[in-house]
């Protein structure tokens, strides 16, 4: 599944929910495959990216960190209750993540340049 470049403004305008993984270094395809497989293990009947996500967006912060936004499909096969628990377990294991709705509130300052022109 293709990872598309996006701006924070693009993400703020989205009208659906997703999960954001922060500081995704290395090959982005490996992140897509790993997150999708993890969903299958923890909270879905499928680990096929095209069946789980409507799109996957790449955001670069002003500090150069890469965050990936996994947008849920409307008819996604993910058990959201189990995902909530898995998300907390991932955070406890050191994998920073956020619901998209929380991300746009809590991480906006990571995307706004503070340089004076």
Question: What is the DSSP code (8-state) at residue 29?
Answer: H
Q: Which residues, listed in sequence order, are joined to residue 72 by a DSSP beta bridge? A: 53
What is the dotted CATH code of the domain comprising 3-110?
A: 3.30.70
Give the residue among 76, 70, 75 at the shortest CA–CA distance from 99. Answer: 70
Domain limits of the chain? 3-110
Q: Is 69 exposed, middle or buried (0-12, 13-18, 19+ CB in 10 A)?
A: buried
Whole-model pTM? 0.90
Express each pLDDT in 55-96 by its tens digit: 999 999 999 999 999 999 888 778 889 999 988 988 888 889
Radius of gyration (Cα) for the chain, nearest Å?
A: 14
Of residues 23, 18, 88, the one with CA closest to residue 53: 18
pLDDT tens, position by position, 28-42: 999 999 999 988 888
Whole-angstrom distance, CA of residue 44 vs CA of residue 101? 21
| Element counts in the chain: helices (H) and strands (E) | 5, 5
């Amino acid at each position: 599944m293709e990872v598309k470049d996006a701006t924070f403004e693009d993400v703020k305008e989205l009208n659906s929910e997703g999960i954001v993984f922060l500081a995704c270094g290395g090959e982005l395809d490996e992140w897509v495959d790993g997150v999708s497989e993890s969903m299958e293990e923890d909270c879905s009947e499928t680990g096929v990216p095209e069946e789980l996500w409507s799109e996957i967006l790449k955001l670069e912060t002003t500090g150069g960190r890469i965050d990936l936004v996994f947008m849920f499909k409307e008819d996604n096969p993910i058990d959201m209750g189990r995902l909530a628990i898995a998300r907390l377990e991932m955070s406890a294991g050191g994998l920073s993540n956020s619901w998209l709705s929380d991300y746009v509130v809590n991480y906006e300052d990571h995307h706004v340049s503070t340089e004076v022109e």
